[in-house]
Amino acid sequence: MLEFKEALKRVLAKMPRLGVEAAELAALNRRVLADPLYSNIDLPVADNSSMDGYALRAQDVEGASRDNPVTLEVLGSIPAGELSDAELVPGSCVRLFTGSFLPRGADAVIMQEDTQADGNVIRCLDQVKPWENIRFKGEDVKNGTLLIGGGTRLSARHLGLIAALGKAQITVSRQPKVGILATGHELQEAGSPLAPGAIYESNRLILSELVRQIGCEPKVYPLVDDTMEATQKALSVAAAENDALLTSGGVSVGDYDLIRPAIEAIGGKIDFWRVRLRPGKPFVFAEIGGKPLFGLPGNPVSAVTTYMVLARPALLQMQGAVNIESEKRLCRLSEAIENRSDRPHFFRVCLDEADGLSSAGLQGSHALQSLSKADGWLCVEPGQALSAGDSVSVMVWDD
């Protein structure tokens, strides 16, 4: 049985790297940036006003106050989005709005609230410092600056910056197509009353959303019965149609656990079986025609935990992501947690607002309610007894 860290190393060493493609801006979220992104323009693109007000020469309103207003002639008005060839001369100003580009000769903007308009003149009721209320060309981003490193997983926070550069497409890694299969004679689709002996299938949905969150394109297959024929056929089809496969169930030692023999029967290779972790020991890593297969255990929590620990980093590496580890958060235990088993145990845990950590509830590998409540997982080593107050690092979900 492999230690899970060793298992992850073996998985990562075998992962093929996908190529790159151009993606439209609207399709960039969650994709992995292929190359470093440099700015091709300055932001702001020109000196502009941060206020609704008037462009002026600061020296013209030196000493201005409510008791001692300075009157300036308004030469014109520049709505945001318009250019003007107005040039300020002493004693003049130009009407501006937030974002309006600055006219020549101006070195400050007085906010509208500090002025009184009267026909084609204004009275300035305050002075302004040189360059006050002006946003300078390039002060946010200089042309040629490295903005986002290659291998970054793009998320909403990056998209405003990318959109502001005006590029129509960005080069990203190809999205792994991930085939998602569930095996089990007892499994039934939602939407009709349960047949005697059946249970509703739940792994494909959670797994397909988890892979979508890391930029993959899930393809969900019909339920696979526990026969060699059905299992072989389903695996062959899915391996041909995808870049990687996630299967659930059928990887243990029971008479109906057919994933391993079916992989071998269709010419695939098992790399390893069984990993020292809890829940999820019977995990299989294999390949069929060069496509990696993650054989997750059927128990819903085992499937998700092994996905998070072993498959998620691999699917990110396939996309060339620099950061393939789940986010970790430093927390303090609010209660004691002990691992009496001989395998590292990934406990489902909840975080409170003060980053205090407690068990999310029933820890059995079938217990979906505690999974739905958990903010993340705390890995406790075999024999380790953690006490309330201990500081620990927690692996959290993507969402």
> Stretches 12-20, 98-106, 244-252, 387-395: which one binds ligand AMP (CB under 6 A)?
244-252
Size of the site for ligand AMP (CB under 6 A): 17
Task: Name the residue number minimizing CB distance to ligand AMP.
Answer: 298
**C-alpha span between 144 and 316 (Å, rounded):** 28
Q: Which is nearer to ligand AMP, 164 or 367 (CB)?
A: 367
Is there binding between residue 53 and Mg ion (CB under 5 A)?
A: no
- Site for ligand AMP, residues 341 to 370, rule: CB under 6 A: none
In the list 176, 184, 279, 344, the residue contacting ligand AMP (rule: CB under 6 A) is 184
Is there binding between residue 297 and Mg ion (CB under 5 A)?
A: no
Q: Are strands 345-351 and 376-380 parallel, antiparallel or unpaired?
A: antiparallel
Q: Which is nearer to ligand AMP, 109 or 181 (CB)?
A: 181
Binding mask 220-259 for Mg ion (x = CB under 5 A): -----------------------------xx---------
> Stretches 22-30, 111-119, 197-205, 338-346: which one binds ligand AMP (CB under 6 A)?
197-205
Min dist CB 368 to ligand AMP, Å, is 9
- Per partner kind, with CB cut-offs from 5 to 8 A, the member of Mg ion, ligand AMP, none near residue 252 is ligand AMP
Binding mask 164-183 for ligand AMP (x = CB under 6 A): ------------------x-
In the list 35, 52, 132, 186, the residue contacting ligand AMP (rule: CB under 6 A) is 186
In the list 103, 250, 320, 344, the residue contacting ligand AMP (rule: CB under 6 A) is 250
Q: Which is nearer to Mg ion, 108 or 303 (CB)?
A: 303
In the list 84, 299, 306, 317, the residue contacting ligand AMP (rule: CB under 6 A) is 299
In the list 44, 103, 179, 184, the residue contacting Mg ion (rule: CB under 5 A) is 184
In the list 46, 83, 199, 385, the residue contacting ligand AMP (rule: CB under 6 A) is 199
Is there binding between residue 295 and ligand AMP (CB under 6 A)?
A: no
Is there binding between residue 282 and Mg ion (CB under 5 A)?
A: no
Is there binding between residue 292 and Mg ion (CB under 5 A)?
A: no
Sequence-separated (6 or more) residues with CB below 8 Å from residue 313? 8, 11, 12, 324, 325, 326
**C-alpha span between 395 and 390 (Å, rounded):** 16
Is there binding between residue 297 and ligand AMP (CB under 6 A)?
A: yes
Is there binding between residue 298 and ligand AMP (CB under 6 A)?
A: yes
**C-alpha span between 109 and 118 (Å, rounded):** 18
**C-alpha span between 331 and 353 (Å, rounded):** 11
Is there binding between residue 202 and ligand AMP (CB under 6 A)?
A: yes
- Site for ligand AMP, residues 27 to 56, rule: CB under 6 A: none
Q: Which is nearer to Mg ion, 215 or 250 (CB)?
A: 250
Is there binding between residue 179 and Mg ion (CB under 5 A)?
A: no
Region at 303 (left for phi over 0; alpha for psi -120 to 50; beta for the rest): alpha
Is there binding between residue 305 and ligand AMP (CB under 6 A)?
A: no
Give the binding site for ligand AMP (CB under 6 A): 182, 184, 186-187, 199, 201-203, 248-250, 252, 254, 297-300
